[in-house]
Chain A
């Protein structure tokens, strides 16, 4: 890595990584066990996955900590291990990528709902994120990625917690939107302008969207963000919703298709392009070639 994360973004487009959950299931994640159980038991698997994404051309590789907030881990009786689980995930990715890629600390939703919709007080959720984020930052991540959020209040709590721990740590924050007749909304009813404004106010450095309903919708979502923020934008799309082809089920968006469509992100000025559910090292490799072919001349 030539430069600190926030500096490099001004100079070139970065390529993220692809799916994690499907990779873990292929490598033996058992029923009833959280994906994060690998962090303590099978760190070598995490290293292998990270290396695959590095080899495919990812500039940023994420930690297996999507569900590693204290509240989430409590469901599996692992709350006490929150720090160890997050730390182990960072060390595994770092061991695999060294300084050839940035390590991004993934922080997904808590799995719980804030009052009045659910039973969790904001203070408790904040504290839960803080334990996780503190561990990720202490273990040496280059950037934090708050992702797949539906509730803007929850997203803001996570972003604020990260900045509270270390104001200089770059924070990416992405939400998941669905197309509705009234435009794009999260399941909790947040639209793009409201998401952008709240995430920016909370102190996020890079904002955008992940997961979703296929890359063509993501292009519209990226346009939506471009209209309402000056912050760098991150888009990590899934490979569409699975479809039936004959007797097989496939994610309809092939590496070639996604890479071709992702040209639109480059044209729109999106800063970070990566994958989500259904994307593989092959998708990242195709994306890498496309970005390299369009990358504006580097000054590095």
Chain B
């Protein structure tokens, strides 16, 4: 649909005003909100994620596109009042206890939201209990943890242990990332997945929440 293409295009340019106007217009044309979300907003964000991954664009472009995306989603929200905003799932993210590096984690949050996930960001220096408690209370399906320091990586293992102790493994999946983190480490500590960058994290989380 041409108007959805234009939404995607304007979102990629970070033009919040045009995206808002086009989303409103598509609703008055009776295009289903779900279609506007998937075919316009989320599709545009996918392109942005890919361009960022390839270093064709930098963070400012991603941030502007994300802003346009959120503006569009706000307009769509009332259309989903009955069934609730369609969400691919809830993800709790944070940089682990003892670690203050959060650029990578923030980016993963933006990309996940852009892909249609609900994201609860606990910030940095997050205690293992806090990850598990929040995920349990919010009924999140995934916990995403980031670390940039080798000394803080064991906190990721503690979160997995807590989930095991509370018999939440499988119900709440774990994904880890950050410069020193590897796929092997994820396997070693029993995390469900590892991701090397924000674009890849989205695909990996999607796979995690897919019903088996």
A293 at the binding interface (Cβ < 8 Å): no
CB pair B60–A117 under 8 Å, yes or no, is: yes
Q: With A187-B103, A189-B59 as known contacts, state yes or no: A31 contacts B126, CB within 8 Å.
A: yes
A188 at the binding interface (Cβ < 8 Å): yes
Chain B stretch 115-152: residues in CB contact (< 8 A) with chain A: 123, 125-127, 130, 148-152
Chain B residue with Cβ nearest A243? B180
Q: With A22-B149, A35-B100, A116-B64 as known contacts, state yes or no: A187 contacts B59, CB within 8 Å.
A: yes
The count of chain A contact residues (Cβ–Cβ below 8 Å) is 32
CB pair B60–A242 under 8 Å, yes or no, is: no
CB pair A185–B149 under 8 Å, yes or no, is: no
Q: With A22-B149, A244-B185, A249-B180 as known contacts, state yes or no: A117 contacts B63, CB within 8 Å.
A: yes
B153 at the binding interface (Cβ < 8 Å): yes
Q: Which of B58, B126, B182, B184 contacts A187 (CB 8 A)?
A: B58
B contact residues around A5 at 8 Å (CB): none
CB pair A249–B60 under 8 Å, yes or no, is: no
CB pair A31–B58 under 8 Å, yes or no, is: no
CB pair B179–A244 under 8 Å, yes or no, is: no
Chain B stretch 97-113: residues in CB contact (< 8 A) with chain A: 97-98, 100, 103
CB pair B97–A31 under 8 Å, yes or no, is: yes
A219 to B150, alpha carbons, bound, how many Å?
24
Q: Mark A134-147, 1 if CB is under 8 A from B, else 0.
A: 00000000000000
CB pair A242–B180 under 8 Å, yes or no, is: yes
Q: Which of B59, B125, B149 contacts A33 (CB 8 A)?
A: B125
A21 to B98, alpha carbons, bound, how many Å?
9
A21 to B150, alpha carbons, bound, how many Å?
13
B contact residues around A31 at 8 Å (CB): 97-98, 125-127, 130
CB pair A180–B55 under 8 Å, yes or no, is: yes
Q: Nearest Cβ distance between residue A188 and chain B, in whole angstroms?
A: 5
A289 to B98, alpha carbons, bound, how many Å?
32
A167 at the binding interface (Cβ < 8 Å): no
Q: Nearest Cβ distance between residue A87 and chain B, in whole angstroms?
A: 22
Chain B residue with Cβ nearest A181? B55
Most B C-beta atoms less than 10 A away, residue of A21, A33, A67, A75: A21
Q: Which of A26, A67, A118, A244 contacts B184 (CB 8 A)?
A: A244
B24 at the binding interface (Cβ < 8 Å): no
B contact residues around A188 at 8 Å (CB): 58-60
A contact residues around B153 at 8 Å (CB): 249
B contact residues around A185 at 8 Å (CB): 55, 58
Q: Mark A239-256, 1 if CB is under 8 A from B, else 0.
A: 001111000111100000
A243 to B148, alpha carbons, bound, how many Å?
11
A165 to B127, alpha carbons, bound, how many Å?
39
A contact residues around B123 at 8 Å (CB): 75
Most B C-beta atoms less than 10 A away, residue of A118, A180, A242: A242
A267 at the binding interface (Cβ < 8 Å): no
B contact residues around A75 at 8 Å (CB): 123
A22 to B150, alpha carbons, bound, how many Å?
10
A155 to B180, alpha carbons, bound, how many Å?
28
Chain A residue with Cβ nearest B104? A187
Q: Which of A113, A118, A181, A244 contacts B180 (CB 8 A)?
A: A244
CB pair A182–B67 under 8 Å, yes or no, is: no
B contact residues around A244 at 8 Å (CB): 180, 182, 184-185
A-B contact pairs, 25 of them (CB 8 A): A21-B100, A22-B151, A25-B149, A25-B152, A31-B127, A31-B130, A33-B125, A116-B67, A117-B67, A118-B63, A180-B55, A181-B55, A182-B55, A185-B55, A189-B57, A241-B179, A241-B180, A242-B149, A242-B180, A243-B180, A244-B182, A244-B185, A248-B150, A250-B150, A251-B150
Listed in ascending order, the chain A residues whose CB lies under 8 Å from chain B are 21-22, 25-26, 29, 31-33, 35, 67, 75, 113, 116-118, 150, 180-182, 185, 187-189, 241-244, 248-251, 277
Listed in ascending order, the chain B residues whose CB lies under 8 Å from chain A are 55, 57-61, 63-64, 67, 97-98, 100, 103, 123, 125-127, 130, 148-153, 179-180, 182, 184-185
Give the top 6 A-B pairs by smallest Cβ distance, nearest first.
A189-B58, A249-B150, A242-B180, A31-B97, A31-B127, A117-B63
